[in-house]
Amino acid sequence: MKLDYLLMDVFTREPLKGNQLAVVPKADGLLDDEMQAIAREFNLSETVFILKPKADRNTAEVRIFTPYTELPFAGHPTIGAAVALGLQNKVSAVRLEEKVGLITALFEKTDRCSGEARFALPRLPSRVADLSDKLGIAQALGIEVEDIGCDVYKPAVFSAGVTFHLVPVRNAEVLRRVQVNSALFNKVFHHDHNSAYIFTLTPEEPNNDIAARMFGMNLGEDPGTGSAAAALIGLLAEEALSTDQADYVLRQGHEMGRPCRITLQFRRDHEVLIHGGIGGHAVIIGEGTLDLGTESKPQ
């Protein structure tokens, strides 16, 4: 059996930047454990498998796997899948069936191998728990207790389909200095996938509003995490006392040499969150074929 695949860089306009993604465009017939094995073979943060949709009016079913497990939702695979399908089908919108729900992504072509996609979150972020152990957080991240907190933001646990521990820090210098203490990390960040999204406001940087880093999910550091940015929308909206609508540009991955640019937006009605959105560019940088075995020959 042979399967074609694409390699993409997501949350970037430039090849060899952003977050890497493998896309298997025709994955119908693969079993769950085969998808998991292929994702483990690629060994990227996520691999997307595109299948025929369950409902005819939708564009595709999308399955998302890390090397270790399947995810109900992830941002950079959704952006990558939307760009790949938008380019392939020459359409301005795609409807994706994911485990978290139906996602409609708007697509705009940049050139023959790249484009931009943005989508409304299928599940709005919600607060899961407080995160009050500042000493434990500081020790797990290799920073000082007084480095924790930024403007009105305090540590908390949020989810928009995947759970993240959100940790605001004082400034971009503190963010740069974060060094994970692996002996303490999972104990402190104990919800679900043990994922910590550390962020700060960047008023001194002209091209973005927020900077972030993500650690956990058995992946080490991730250069661009849309599902974590989606969770962060919940905290941003919760603390937005003076506005019911806002747009942000977030940078991630700079400390890894894989800069990502993620756009965020939210809208509230009478202080209740009614819309959250994620967007970004993606570029196809390569394609190939997986050879998973030869047909048996008659004796």
Active site residues: 46
C-alpha distances in angstroms, 108 versus 62, 67, 90, 269?
Answer: 20, 30, 10, 29
Judge whether 96 and 82 are in contact, CB under 8 Å.
Answer: yes
Which residue type, as a one-letter code, is found at position 132?
A: S
Whether residue 85 contacts residue 50, with contact meaning beta carbons closer than 8 Å, is answered with yes
CA nearest to 42, candidates 78, 89, 77 = 77
Torsion of CA 36, 46, 120, 90, to 10 degrees: -90
Joined tokens for residue 100: 């978290």
At position 7, the amino acid (one-letter code) is L
Strand 114-120 to 93-98 pairing: unpaired
Strand positions, DSSP E, 25-161: 47-51, 60-65, 70-71, 93-98, 101-111, 114-120, 126-130, 156-159
Inter-CA distances, 94 with 38, 103, 277, Å: 25, 8, 15
Angle, CA of 19, 214 and 14, to the nearest 5°: 20
